[in-house]
């Protein structure tokens, strides 16, 4: 299983320099999990910088993956991981969600760069 974080989805939708690399991970949607917090972050950023219509198109694309809600176990694990690795809340939730499903995080977010189980993409 793969978890592409918000950085990855935004890079993909913006057709940034790493978009093709992210597409390689996103093309088989049945292998991708997505925490609901990623929906929040991607929708907010695209709506703010482009339009609500484009943000909703992005959400529809993300909803083709397995979207996972924040539950009690993930919340508590995220708190522990936040303390252990000094992660911001959203990143800790993303990482805890990946850990709960033995998924690899694919990202270019520097907060994840040295964490175990992360594929860090660089330009």
Q: Taking the CA atoms of 123, 86, 5 and 59 in sequence, report the sign of the dihedral they define.
A: negative
CB atoms within 10 A of CB 100: 16
pLDDT at 123 > cutoff 90 = no
* CATH number (domain holding residue 108): 3.40.50.1010
Residue 47: phi, psi to the nearest 5?
Answer: -65, -45
Number of domains in the chain: 1
pLDDT (tens digit per residue) in 93-107: 999 999 999 999 999
Q: What is the pLDDT of residue 95?
A: 98
Domain hosting 63: range is: 2-120
Counting residues of the chain whose pLDDT is more than 70, the rounded percentage is 100
The answer to pTM > 0.85 is: yes
pLDDT (tens digit per residue) in 58-86: 999 999 999 999 999 999 999 999 999 99
Average pLDDT over residues 26-33: 97
């Amino acid at each position: 299983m793969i978890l592409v974080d918000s950085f990855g989805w935004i890079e993909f939708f913006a057709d940034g320099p790493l978009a093709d690399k992210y597409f390689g991970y996103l093309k088989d949607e049945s292998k991708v999990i997505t925490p609901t917090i990623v929906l929040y972050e991607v929708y907010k950023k695209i709506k703010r910088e482009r339009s609500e219509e484009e943000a909703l198109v992005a959400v529809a694309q993300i909803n083709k993956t397995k979207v996972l809600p924040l539950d009690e176990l993930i919340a508590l694990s995220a708190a522990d991981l936040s303390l252990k690795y000094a992660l911001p809340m959203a990143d800790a939730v993303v990482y805890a969600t990946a850990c709960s499903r033995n998924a690899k995080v694919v990202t270019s977010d520097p907060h994840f760069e040295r964490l175990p189980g992360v594929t860090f993409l660089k330009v």
